[in-house]
Amino acid sequence: MTNWIGEYEALTEMKTVGSGSARWCIATRYGKHFFVKEFLSPVYPSANRDSALAKIQRTRCEVFEQQKKRLYAALSCVIGDTLVPVVDFFLHSNRYYAISEEVPKPNVNGEDVGRLSHKEMRGLFQTLAECLGRLHAQGIVHADLKPEHLLLVGESGNYSLRLIDLDSGFLEDDPPKELKEIEGDPVYLAPETFLRLTGESVPLTSGVDTFALGILIHRLWAGELPAIDLEKHTYLYEAALMGGEIRLSPALPLAYRLCVQRMLRKDPNQRPSDEEIIQLLAAPQGKPFQLKQDEMDTPLNGLSRLMKK
Cβ neighbours around 126 below 10 Å, total? 15
CA dihedral 40, 128, 219, 303 (to 10 degrees): -150
Q: How far apart are CA 236 and CA 225, in angstroms?
A: 9
In a domain? residue 185: yes
**What is the domain-level CATH number for residue 58?**
3.30.200.20
**Is residue 29 helix, strand or coil?**
strand
Q: Are 33 and 11 in contact (CB under 8 A)?
A: yes
User: C-alpha angle 100/40/15, rounded to 5°?
Assistant: 65
Residues 210 and 225 in one domain: yes
Residues 154 and 9 in one domain: no
Is residue 307 in some structural domain? no
> Is there a contact between 42 and 59 (Cβ–Cβ < 8 Å)?
no
**Which of 55, 72, 101 corresponds to the end of one domain?**
101
23 in Cβ contact with 13 (< 8 Å):
no
What b-and-e string marks burial along 81-96, b requiring 16 or more CB atoms within 10 Å of the CB? ebbbebeebeeeeebb
242 in the same domain as 113: yes
CB proximity list for 296: less than 8 A, separation 6 or greater: 257, 261
Q: Are residues 82 and 129 in the same domain?
A: no
- Cα 303–Cα 150–Cα 230 angle in degrees, nearest 5: 65
Task: Answer with the one of 39, 66, 101 that is the final residue of a domain.
Answer: 101
Is residue 122 assigned to a domain?
A: yes
Question: Same structural domain for residues 78 and 197?
Answer: no
pLDDT, averaged per 10 consecutive residues of the chain (309 residues), comes to 87 82 93 95 83 90 94 93 93 96 81 77 92 96 94 81 90 87 90 94 95 96 95 97 96 90 97 93 50 40 37
Whether a cis peptide bond, with omega within 30° of 0, leads into 186 is no
What's the CA gap between 69 and 64, in Å, rounded? 9
- CA 131/CA 137 separation, integer angstroms: 10
**137 and 282 inside one domain:** yes
DSSP 253: B
Domain assignment present for residue 198? The answer is yes
Instruction: State how far the Cα of 182 lies from the Cα of 219, in Å rounded to an integer.
Output: 24
Alpha helices in 164-264 (DSSP H): 191-197, 207-222, 236-241, 254-263
H or E segment and range at residue 305: helix 303-307
Q: Is 197 among the domain residues?
A: yes
Can you give the length of the chain in residues? 309
Host H or E run for residue 70: helix 52-75
Residue 308 lies in a domain: no
Instruction: Please state, in angstroms and rounded to a whole number, the distance separating the CA atoms of residues 236 and 137.
Output: 27
Identify the three-state secondary structure at position 63: helix
Which pLDDT belongs to residue 212?
Answer: 98
DSSP 8-state secondary structure symbol assigned to residue 272:
P
84 and 28 both lie in a single domain: yes
From 38, 66, 101, the end of a domain falls on: 101
Do 141 and 264 lie in one domain? The reply is yes
**CATH code of residue 115:** 1.10.510.10
The range of the structural domain enclosing residue 160 comes to: 107-302
Does the residue 247 lie in any domain? yes
Give me the number of domains the chain comprises. Answer: 2
Residue 213 lies in a domain: yes
Contact 260, 226 (CB under 8 A): yes
Give the distance, in angstroms, between the CA of residue 60 and the centroid of all CA atoms in the same chain: 25
Together in a domain, 118 and 230: yes
Same domain, 128 and 56: no
User: Do residues 148 and 89 both lie within one domain?
Assistant: no
pLDDT for 181 equals 80
157 and 56, same structural domain? no
